[in-house]
Amino acid sequence: MKTLLLALALVPFLGYSQLVETGADVQFEPRSSDIQAVQSNSKSTSCGPDTVLYTLQKATGLQAISINNATSAQGVSQYYNCPQPLTITGVEFYAYKIDVTGGITQNVTVQIYTAGTDSMPSGLPLVTSTVLVDTNFGGGNLDILSKFANMPAITVTQPYVVVVSNNSPNGVGMIFSDYAASPADGGQEWLCSLDLFGTWTRSYGVNVAGTIFDSDALFYPLVSYTMDSDFTPSADCFSGGPTINFTNNSSPILQDRMYNLAAFLNLTPLSYTWDFGDGGGGNAIDTANTYANTTLGYTVYLTDTLFGWTSTCVDVDSTFIGDDLNTQWSSVPAGAGVVNFTDNSTSSAAITNWLWDFGDGNTSTQQNPSHTYASSGNYTVCLTAVTDCGVDSTCATITVTVCNNPTAAFSETNNDPSFDFTDGSTTTGIVTYSWDFGDGNTSTQQNPTHTYIDNGTYTVTLTITDDCGTSTVTSTVTVNNGCVDPVAGFTQSGSEPTFGFTNTSTSSTNTTYSWDMGDGTTYTTMDVNHTYTANNMYTVTLIVTDDCGADTTTQTVTVSTIGLLDLEGDSFVAYPNPANDVLNILSNHNIVRLELMDMTGRMVVSNECNAKTVEVKTSQLAEGHYTLRAIQEDGAVKITSIEVIH
C-alpha cells in the first residue's frame, strides 16, 4: 500500500496554467501486470463489457486535484484510441466533494466526445450523464471513492475522450495518477487535457505546485466490441513448395495497448496462438511453417486471445492446407427429359474448372448445369473438378424418363375436426405422396384422413414425386369444433391527454383482455381510462382471448398539447418529441434562426425565420437523435435534444 500526501501549493510556473491539489491522502495498490493473473480473474470469455483500466495500469501513485470553475480546472478529458467500432455504456472514475461548502453533495457531468485536434474534445457531446458526488472520502480508499456514470449505449468509430466537469466553485477532488513521479505516470503521452476557465489546454501546459502536469485521469470507459480471428495462407496447397506463409487479418483491437494487456506489456504475439496441424505452432502475429510431408492435408488454427482489463475474449479461425478435393454431385428430374445437376464438391482450395459428361455425347463446363435428354434411358454422368491442388472425378448412372411433369392436386371433405383428403394429382409411372397437415403431423398415404386436436387455420401441403419429376400444392383448412372465434373491438372517447376506451368485443367463455396503450402501459381490465404524459402518436392494441381463440385490433391516438399550456413567460417548447413527419417549435419570442444537428455535429437543417411558431419537416431525416438550436430575437439561445422516428 502506498500513501501520497498532496500539498495545496498555488504558485506561477514558467507561464503555465496552474492546478490546485486538495491535500488529500489517496490509497493506491498497484494492479497486477501479469497476463495469467488477468486470465484467471476474468469475468467472462465474451467480448466485453470490459472496464478499460489503462490509466490505472500506468500509475505508480495517485493524487487528488480540486476541480472547480473558480480556482482550478473546471473539466478534465482523457483520450482513448478507437482501433475498431466500440460500444460504450458507462464510465467509472474516482471523486469526492472536498468540503461541505454549498452542501454535502455536488453533481458532476460525465460526457463522451469525439477526439479532435491535439486529442482534445471536439464538437458536441455524443452522450451525457450526471453523477452525484458526496463528501465521503473513506480514508482515501478507491473502492469508496469510485463513482459510475451509466450511459445509453453509443458506438464510436474514431478516437474519443471521456470528460468529467464540475461547473461550480465548490471543489470536487478528482483522482489522477502521479504527475510528480520520475518519470511521471503520464509517460509524456499527454492524453489528459483540462478545461481552464472555458479553454481546453493539454496537460503539458498546466502545472501543480511548480511541476508540469504529466498525468492521466483515472477514467475507465466500459466497452464492448466484436473480435474476429482471421488469417490468410499464401497458398491452399503445396504446389509452390512446402513452406506456407500465414498473414494475420484479425481484429485490430488485439494490437492496441489501451485494450489488450498483452500489447500494453509489449507481448502482443501472446495474443495469437498458431497450430499448424503437423504438431508445430507458437505465438506470433504473422508466421510461416515448412511442412515435412506435402502428401498430407493439414488443418491450421489461429486462436486469438484479447487479455482485457476485466475480461478475456477468445476467437478461433481455421483453414485447410493440401489436396482435399472431393468431387460429388446430385441430380433432380425436371420433366420432359430435363435434368438439373448440382455440384456438391468440397475442397479447401478454390475449384477453378468443372467438366460434365452427360453420357449422351454432350458436355458442359458450368458448375450447375441443366441438360435435356432426347430420349428415355439410363445414362452414365461424370463430373471432373479441378483446383490448383489437383483433379478429381466421380461418375454415376441416372435413369431419364422423357415425359410431362406431374401436377399435384387434392380436395378435402370437412368433418370438423376431422378432414378426408382426396388426391387429384396428374402423374406418370410410380408415384410417392408426402402430406404435411400443418400441425406437425404427416402422412404418405394417397388419400389420408386426419383429425385436428386444436382449433385454428392450418396449411395443408401435398408433394408428389413420379418418374417425371416433383410437384407441390397447398390449401388451408379451418378447425372450429363448435367454436366461434372472438372479435376484438373498442371505441375511444375523451380529449388529450386523457382518453377512455370502451370494449365492444364479442367473445364466448373465459374471456381475457390485454391492452397495450403504446407508451409502455398495459391493462387487463375490460374497459380502460388512460392519461398520456408525453406528446406522440400512440398505437393502442387490444387482444381478446377466449376458449375459441384470440383476436387483435388496434387504433391510434394523438397527443400533441402536453406542455403547450405552460408556454408562458420565457418559454420554449418543441413537439411532438419523438417527431415523425413534422416538428413544431413554439416560443414567446420570435425565433430568428433554427438549426438541427445530428449526433456527429453535422448540421442537417439551417433555417432563417422570424416567427414564434416554426415548423420543421422531419420526414426526410434519418431516424436518430438530433440537437435543436434556436436563436431568439432577444439573443437567447434555446438548445434541446430531439428524437426522429418513422
Query: What does the pLDDT read at residue 38?
Result: 39
Any domain includes 124:
yes
Query: What does the pLDDT read at residue 196?
Result: 93
Query: What does the pLDDT read at residue 7?
Result: 27
570 — pLDDT class (breaks 50, 70, 90): low
Query: What does the pLDDT read at residue 636?
Result: 87
Any domain includes 385:
yes
Based on the domain organization, do 395 and 439 belong to the same domain? no
Separation between Cα atoms, residue 627 and residue 582, nearest integer Å: 15
Based on the domain organization, do 428 and 552 belong to the same domain? no
pLDDT at 431 over 80: yes
Separation between Cα atoms, residue 602 and residue 621, nearest integer Å: 13
pLDDT digits (tens, 9 = 90+) for 323-370: 778 899 999 988 778 999 999 998 877 899 999 999 999 999 999 999
CATH of the domain at 437: 2.60.40.10
208 — pLDDT class (breaks 50, 70, 90): confident
Query: What does the pLDDT read at residue 6?
Result: 30
Most confident by average pLDDT, 250-264, 464-478, 546-560 = 250-264
Strands of 281-283's sheet, edge to edge?
A: 281-283, 272-275, 298-307, 312-321
Any domain includes 405:
no
Residues in the chain: 646
Residue 197: is it exposed, middle or buried by C-beta count within 10 angstroms (0-12/13-18/19+)?
A: exposed
Query: What does the pLDDT read at residue 229?
Result: 94
Based on the domain organization, do 313 and 439 belong to the same domain? no
Based on the domain organization, do 85 and 23 belong to the same domain? yes
CATH of the domain at 625: 2.60.40.1930
Separation between Cα atoms, residue 299 and residue 508, nearest integer Å: 64
Query: What does the pLDDT read at residue 12?
Result: 29
Average pLDDT value for residue range 150-160: 97
Strand partners, 301: 275, 318
Based on the domain organization, do 124 and 202 belong to the same domain? yes
Query: What does the pLDDT read at residue 563?
Result: 60
Query: What does the pLDDT read at residue 42?
Result: 34
DSSP-derived pairing of the beta strands 582-598 and 603-617 = antiparallel
Separation between Cα atoms, residue 453 and residue 443, nearest integer Å: 16
- What's the CA angle centered on 418, arms 417 and 421, to 5 degrees? 140
147 — pLDDT class (breaks 50, 70, 90): very high
Last residue of a domain, one of 500, 529, 559: 559
Separation between Cα atoms, residue 596 and residue 598, nearest integer Å: 7
Based on the domain organization, do 578 and 602 belong to the same domain? yes
Any domain includes 484:
no
451 — pLDDT class (breaks 50, 70, 90): very high
The grid coordinates of residue 365 equal 463446363
Q: If you write DSSP's letter for every residue of 90-152 in order, what string do you get?
A: EEEEEEEE-SSTT-SEEEEEEEEEEE-GGG-EEEEEEEEEEEEEES--GGG-HHHHEEEEEEE
Query: What does the pLDDT read at residue 210?
Result: 85
The grid coordinates of residue 611 equal 416567427
Any domain includes 629:
yes
Based on the domain organization, do 171 and 61 belong to the same domain? yes
Any domain includes 303:
yes
Query: What does the pLDDT read at residue 46?
Result: 65
Query: What does the pLDDT read at residue 33?
Result: 59
What is the number of domains present in the chain?
6
Based on the domain organization, do 462 and 497 belong to the same domain? no
Last residue of a domain, one of 224, 256, 278: 224
Separation between Cα atoms, residue 492 and residue 499, nearest integer Å: 7
Any domain includes 290:
yes
pLDDT digits (tens, 9 = 90+) for 169-183: 999 999 999 998 878
Based on the domain organization, do 363 and 260 belong to the same domain? no
Residue 109: is it exposed, middle or buried by C-beta count within 10 angstroms (0-12/13-18/19+)?
A: middle
Based on the domain organization, do 232 and 220 belong to the same domain? no
Domain that holds residue 516: 490-559
Based on the domain organization, do 507 and 538 belong to the same domain? yes
Average pLDDT value for residue range 19-40: 61
448: cis peptide before it, omega within 30°? Answer: no
Based on the domain organization, do 55 and 153 belong to the same domain? yes
pLDDT at 34 over 80: no
Average pLDDT value for residue range 552-567: 75
578: cis peptide before it, omega within 30°? Answer: yes
Separation between Cα atoms, residue 256 and residue 167, nearest integer Å: 34
**3-class state of residue 84 by DSSP:** coil
Any domain includes 278:
yes
Last residue of a domain, one of 559, 588, 619: 559
Separation between Cα atoms, residue 357 and residue 625, nearest integer Å: 61
pLDDT digits (tens, 9 = 90+) for 488-544: 999 999 888 899 999 999 987 789 999 999 999 999 999 999 999 888 889 999 999
Most confident by average pLDDT, 21-35, 76-90, 460-474, 626-640 = 76-90
Query: What does the pLDDT read at residue 631?
Result: 92
Instruction: Give the number of other CB atoms < 10 A from CB of residue 123.
Output: 13
Task: List Cα–Cα distances, 350 to 172, 322, 323, in angstroms.
Answer: 64, 12, 11
Q: Report the mean per-residue pLDDT for the chain.
A: 88
Q: What percent of the chain has pLDDT over 90?
A: 65
